[in-house]
Amino acid sequence: MGLLCLRLGAGIALFHNGFVGSVESPHQQHLLRLLIEAAAGLFLCAGLWTPIAGGVAAIIGLWGAFSGPGDSWSQLQLAILGAGLAMLGPGAWSVDARLFGRRRIRISDR
């Protein structure tokens, strides 16, 4: 349930940044970044291709934090959340778990 909350929080924020920014920005290069950000947010919300979407969110967040004006701290926070979700995986309540099964790491008793 915790990973679902993290995925939804990061995904909704990414989608909002991408969707609102794409409506406000007329620049084509900036528009592509915002559309990728919105798509990564939707994938994170659904839990589909979570490691890839989290990695994209981390790259987009770092790009937004260091590339120009704006709130760089919120972009950096989204980058950290995206990297963490890419490493943790989707969790039990996700499309990835339904499609590919849930993998648990077992530590062998020696």
Residue 18, both tokens:
């991408």
pLDDT at 100: 80
Residue 17's domain comprises 2-100
Let me know if residue 108 belongs to a domain: no
Let me know if residue 87 belongs to a domain: yes
Let me know if residue 88 belongs to a domain: yes
Within 10 angstroms of residue 90's Cβ, the number of other Cβ atoms is 27
Let me know if residue 47 belongs to a domain: yes
Cα distances (angstroms) measured from residue 89 to each of 8, 53, 73, 97, 104: 13, 10, 24, 10, 11
Going residue by residue through the chain, which has 110 residues, state the pLDDT in tens, using 9 for 90 and above. 888 898 999 999 888 887 776 566 666 667 788 888 889 999 999 999 999 999 999 998 898 888 877 778 888 998 999 999 999 888 888 888 888 877 666 677 66
The one-letter code for the residue type at 23 is: V
| Chain centroid offset of residue 16 CA | 12
Contact 6, 81 (CB under 8 A): yes
Q: Is the pTM of this model over 0.85?
A: no
Let me know if residue 85 belongs to a domain: yes
Let me know if residue 82 belongs to a domain: yes
Let me know if residue 107 belongs to a domain: no
Let me know if residue 73 belongs to a domain: yes
Closest CA to 62 of 45, 86, 46, 42: 86
Closest CA to 94 of 35, 37, 54, 58: 54
Number of domains, the chain: 1
